[in-house]
Amino acid sequence: PRPYDATDRPRGDGSDLDIGAYEFIGTAQPNPLPNRPVNESPMDGETLLGFVFSMVSSPFSDDDPEDDHVASQWEVSLTNDFTDIWGGTGYTKNFLTTLRAIVEGEPFPAETTFWWRVRHADSYGAWSEWSVPTSYQTRAPGALLQVPQDFATIQSAIDNSVDGDEIVVATGTYKEDIDFLGKNIVLTSTNPLDATVVATTVIRLSNSRFPTVNFSRPTGQPTFPTLTGFTIHGSPFGIDCNGADATISHNVVKSGPIDQCDGFILDNRIEGGEGILDPDEALIEGNTILSGGIQGQFSFPTIRDNLITGVSGRAITECHGLIEGNTITGVSGRGIAECHGLIQSNTITYNGFGGIDECDGTIRNNLVAFNKTPTNSGGGSGIVGCDGIIEKNIVAWNSTDTNASGIAGCDGTIKNNLVLFNHAVGGLGGPPGGGGGIAGCDGDIYNNVVYGNSTERIGGGIWLCDGNIRNNIIWGNTAAEGDQYYESSVPSYCCIEDWNGGGTGNISQDPLFIDPSNRDFRLLSTSPCIDAGAFVRSVTSDYWGDPRGLDGTVEPRGDGSNYDIGADEFLGKELFHLGSDIDGTGWVDAVDLLRLRDEWKAPVSEPSEIDLNGDDRIDSTDLDILIRDWHRGTGPG
């Protein structure tokens, strides 16, 4: 307080105010140092169950009752003289008497002896002596930790785990959020393959500000943890992988996304939230996705054999790795959009805003059918705006209230596709339009069947296409104007119903399909399309994988290359061993089917006679080819 009379001599103006920032009140008393703290936990020489998840000192004490504990300093050393400091906090206000598991971002390694000490600072910045150092040893990895038998909570088990441990969680509801803390551990229910166990082993977080499951990476180093067999519920942030190479399998995710996982997302059921976000280079396989879809951000995951249905919005977007064998049905948006890798062997049906949109990689062996686009959507309900190779797809029964229902606005090569029964109303709310089959495509169009498509306005079959158009069958399409072929470049070597528009090698005779009413668009032996096409260097096989250029008739036709018009290359009985006759007996029968069954879903590392379409997979496409050829050949025996 000012003023204070500290001298009996007259000074100043007589007010006894001192000059300067301090008022002298008598002889200064030294500030006592805080008392030396004591290491309370872990105890000296203790072998810990897991990492050190809390080092605890005694409470702050000071002979001056007005002093407060304002800071601490912690040191952890690999030697008892602290000449080899392993970690520490420096000056910290956050860890006064307890230090959590990680010191400056790095977890404690296993099977290592450490010494630790701490000192306290008071309000005046005075430090106590260091505590007497004590030692502890972390244990070996590979332990089995059980919840709740060994630990009451999942997080406490994680806290006490080391790399290589497995944590097994009994059935029950665990109301907590958990963090793997950068550890390479396995967290599992008692049986991830039992749906009842998964449904009754629940991690449920009521605090919506945090993920239910977090894979933090304190050191920034790659981590490879596993989460399997749980129902995840509660937080809109779901599972946050933070780029960890995590394996997430056999879980039911009821809320929140699986976000930024670079590892393996396998056989999960995603029922709520935003689905799978930003998967980078993850393998996404065997999942059932009912919410959110798979949404990348310049990501390159492998997406294989998933069911995506009932999703609001797009099913798969901005994922540029392999997309293969998925079933995408009943979503409100596009099936696959803005994905520029290989898209093959997918079933994309009954979606509310089209099938495949703006994907510039190869699109092969897909079924794109029964998709729709609404009024004023811009049209395009099948394959739209894709500039890579489009081959060996079935694009059928798609419909739009505007323009272009089959393949539209695609500028890459379109070859060996079946474009069937698509319908476009055409031009609602704008200038006249249409395009039932293939419309507005400026790439080359080779060896397709464009059949039964329709529009209420212009261009039932092919419309507004300016590339090389060769070896196509364009038949049975209808429109108010231009049933088969309209406002496109001059075709060559095509079979076009009622054609009289010129061009080299075109014919207008009935192509004589085997059974178009049952969607069998292979050629009868009497078809005028056999050998009537022209050589195309980029077309070496047909829709079913049979080689092109086989001589199927003695008549001179086409350009002499023996290429057939359409998606099918007629083989004839004498050549049937080239296809589905796997055992080479000249007849496709149960023995061939059993051979295919034995190799079902097996990886193909080199050419195989069982891989009937040559796509390096033994799957439903090969089965479809075998069924097509059932009991055909030169005869039993």
| Tally of CB atoms within 10 A around 166 | 15
What SS3 class is residue 353?
A: coil
Is it the case that residue 441 has pLDDT exceeding 50? yes
As a whole number, mean pLDDT of residues 405-414 equals 95
Pairing of strands 394-396, 399-400: unpaired
- pLDDT exceeds cutoff 60 at 105: no
- What integer is the mean pLDDT of 477-489? 94
Report how far apart, in Å, the C-alpha atoms of 148 and of each of 63, 139, 200, 343, 427 are. Answer: 44, 21, 15, 46, 65
Return all residues near 247 (Cβ < 8 A) that are at least 6 apart: 224, 225, 226, 227, 228, 263, 264, 266
The whole-number pLDDT of residue 557 equals 93
Q: How far apart are CA 618 and CA 196, in angstroms?
A: 32
The rounded Cα 182 to chain-centroid distance in angstroms is 22
For 327-338, the pLDDT digits (tens) are: 999 999 999 999
Q: How far is the C-alpha of 176 from the C-alpha of 153, rounded, in Å?
A: 8
| Residue 205, CA distances (Å) to 216, 248, 462 in order | 17, 18, 56
- Give the model's pLDDT for residue 373: 87
In the chain, the percentage of residues whose pLDDT exceeds 90 is 61
Read off the pTM.
0.76
CB environment 413-440: b (16+ within 10 A), e (fewer): bbbbbbbbbbbbbbbbeeeebbbbbbbb
- pLDDT of 496 > 90? The answer is yes
Express each pLDDT in 280-304 by its tens digit: 899 999 999 999 999 998 899 999 9
Q: Is-contact 431 456, C-beta < 8 A?
A: no
**What per-residue confidence (pLDDT) applies to 398?**
94
Domains delineated in the chain: 39-137 (2.60.40.10), 577-628 (1.10.1330.10)
**Mean pLDDT in residue range 87-97:** 88
More confident residue, 259 or 572: 259
DSSP 346: -
* Model confidence pLDDT, tens digit, residues 185-201: 999 999 999 999 999 99
Residues 246-264 have a mean pLDDT of 94
Q: Is the pLDDT of residue 433 over 70?
A: no
Average pLDDT, the chain: 88
Distance CA 637, CA 311 (A): 51
pLDDT in tens, 582-603: 877 777 878 888 888 888 877 7
Is the CB of residue 251 less than 8 Å from the CB of residue 268? yes
pLDDT tens by residue, 502-560:
999 999 999 999 989 888 899 999 999 999 999 999 999 999 888 999 888 888 899 99
Confidence of residue 219 (pLDDT cuts 50, 70, 90): low
* Burial profile 286-298: b = 16 or more Cβ within 10 angstroms, e = fewer: bbebbbbbbbbee
**pLDDT at residue 50 in the model:** 56
Q: Helix count (H) and strand count (E) of the chain?
A: 4, 58
Helix (H) or strand (E) holding 157: helix 154-159
Length of the chain: 637
